[in-house]
Structure 1
Amino acid sequence: MFAILGDIEFTVAGGISGMEHNASADWAEHARIQGKPLLEWMGDGLDECNLTIELHPMLGDPEERLRALRQAKSQHQPLAFVMGSGEYLGAYVIRHISNTLRRATATGQTKAATVQLNLAEYTGTFTRKVAHPGLLDATLSGTSAANSGSPGWITRVTPSPSTTQKVIAHAKTAANMLKAGQSLYHTVKDGNAAMILGQVPQLLGITARVIEPLQGLATVAGVLDHGSDLSRLGEQVLGSVMGARASLNPVDLDNILDRFSASQEALDQALSTMDAANTRLAGLAAQVLTRRA
């Protein structure tokens, strides 16, 4: 299995031929007298995934498979998007479907087509749905794929992430947030004292968001076999983040430059410590990919 979106499974043998992932950040541009504009990070944009799917009768009825995607889009519901490795990418909605007809019968039935599926990240409240395992998708009944015992898409239980997968997810989230925080600090550091003081709420906000995944990393890694080092890592990085926050509270116009410098140093240390665990985390990811964790 390459990936699963809700109850829709994508496999290489079932026609999935490409995936493009896009991530963005929103920046506000502020004009400055006698100088280039200053960019201010406002927040991250929505992640997007573009899937390329080839439709052919040997892979299942093209029209039925396309109808299943359109039906999922028309329900306007967020769907859990999980890679075959077990990595949970989050909740996504189908925002756009395009279908390029490659070959058709004399009566207009699709023989071969290419579908472009655009998925957008959903950031609202979402509860992952559990389906009944092993049931063939009704839309594939009677197709060559179903008859051969290898349907392109089936409904199944989205497996609960293992302890190893949870550790990887917490670490990945924390690292991404730390990098976003470091980017904001580097943008702000060239401003004057008044400008930096005005950015303190945003700096405190971005460091606050990394606390929960670091706490999760320390807690979950503590119950992982041979995970004590990662548990200590989470606690150590969390300590640096809390130090970065403490340096900015309280602050005033007289001490903001020194306090900001100390806060930035603590955050840089947090990210450096987290990056040092990349090899260790890559080893855990390899265990997940090979179904050993």
Structure 2
Amino acid sequence: MFAILGDIEFTVAGGITGMEQRGTADWAEHARIQGKPLLEWIGEGLDECNLTIELHPLLGDPEARLRALRESKSKHEPLAFVMGSGEYLGAYVIADISNAIRRTTAVGQLTAATVQLNLREYTGPFTRKVFRPGLLNPALAGTAAAAMGSPGLLSNVTATPSLTQTVIGQAKTAGNMLRAGQNLYESVRNGNPSMILGQVPQLLGVTARAIAPLQGMSAAAGLLDDGSDLSRLSESVLGSVMGARSSLNPVDLGNIVDRFAASKDSLSQALTTMDGASTRLAGLAAQVLTRRA
């Protein structure tokens, strides 16, 4: 399996032929007298992913597969996007579907087409839904794709998110918040003491957003049979985040440079510790992907 989006499964044998990823950052441009404009980082842009899918009767009913994609888009719901390697990319929505018809029957029935699927990152509250294993979409029953073990689509039956999925989701959110914080620290670090002091509320705000997901990760991991290491890790990361915050409270013009440096070091330690769990979290995502968690 190449990847899975919600309950939509993509395979190379099932027609997936290309994938393009795109990430951006938002920068504001400020005009300056007798000098080039100054860029100021505002935040990270939404990640995008473009998939190219070939539809053909040998890969399943083309019209049924296209209809399933359109129905998923019309539900306006974020979907978990997981690669076949087990890497959890986060929640995405189907933003755009376009298809180029290559062949039809004499009465206009679709037999071959190329579909371009545009996915955009969703950063709001998200709890991943999972489906029961083994329930194939009846639209593909008896097709060559089903016979090859590459049905292309799975059923829409959903269940309560597992503890494993909760841990993965909270870790992803916490990691995103920590990276956003690091970017903000990097944009501030070359400023003068007065400018750094003026950015303290923003620095405290971005670190505060990592607290809740880290607490949620720790609580969920503590309930897993083999999650004690992740629970300890999240507590360690949380400790570094709280250290970064305490270094900036209180501060004044006389101590802001040293306090900012200490806070930045603590946040960097938090992100390093979190990144160290990437392989462990990928393993959990693989368990979810293969319906074992």
Question: Does TM, normalized by the shorter one, top 0.5?
Answer: yes
TM-score by length of 1: 0.79
Residue 169 (structure 1) shift: 3.7
What is the match of residue 201 of structure 2?
201
1:190 equivalenced with 2:211 (yes/no): no
Name the count of aligned residue pairs. Answer: 291
Q: Quick one: which amino acid aligns to residue 43 of structure 2?
A: G
Q: Secondary structure at the match of 1:46?
A: coil
**Is residue 85–residue 288 contact of structure 1 (8 Å, CA) maintained in 2?**
no
Q: Deviations over 1:152-185 (max 9, x none)?
A: 3231434655444443443343233222211211
Distance 2:91 2:216 in 1: 20
Residue 288 (structure 1) shift: 5.6
Range with bigger deviation, 113-122 or 275-284:
275-284
| Residues 1:144 and 1:95: Cα distance change in structure 2 (over 3 Å) | same
TM-score by length of 2: 0.79
What is the match of residue 250 of structure 1?
250
**Is residue 51–residue 117 contact of structure 2 (8 Å, CA) maintained in 1?**
yes
| Residues 1:45 and 1:221: Cα distance change in structure 2 (over 3 Å) | same
What is the match of residue 61 of structure 2?
61
**Is residue 19–residue 49 contact of structure 1 (8 Å, CA) maintained in 2?**
yes
| Residues 1:79 and 1:277: Cα distance change in structure 2 (over 3 Å) | closer
| Residues 1:279 and 1:101: Cα distance change in structure 2 (over 3 Å) | closer
Distance 2:267 2:278 in 1: 17
Residue 278 (structure 1) shift: 4.3
| Residues 1:149 and 1:65: Cα distance change in structure 2 (over 3 Å) | same
Please list every run of 5 or more consecutive structure 2 residues that lacks an aligned counterpart in the other structure.
none
| Percent sequence identity over aligned pairs | 71
Q: Deviations over 1:250-286 (max 9, x none)?
A: 3333332222122112212222333444455455556
Q: Quick one: which amino acid aligns to residue 196 of structure 1?
A: I
**Is residue 87–residue 165 contact of structure 1 (8 Å, CA) maintained in 2?**
no
Distance 1:239 1:102 in 2: 57
Q: Quick one: which amino acid aligns to residue 116 of structure 1?
A: Q
Q: Secondary structure at the match of 2:195?
A: helix
Residue 116 (structure 1) shift: 0.5
Residue 89 (structure 1) shift: 4.7
| Residues 1:36 and 1:199: Cα distance change in structure 2 (over 3 Å) | farther
Q: CA RMSD in A?
A: 3.5
1:101 equivalenced with 2:101 (yes/no): yes
The equivalences for 1:235-274 within 5 A come to 235-274=235-274
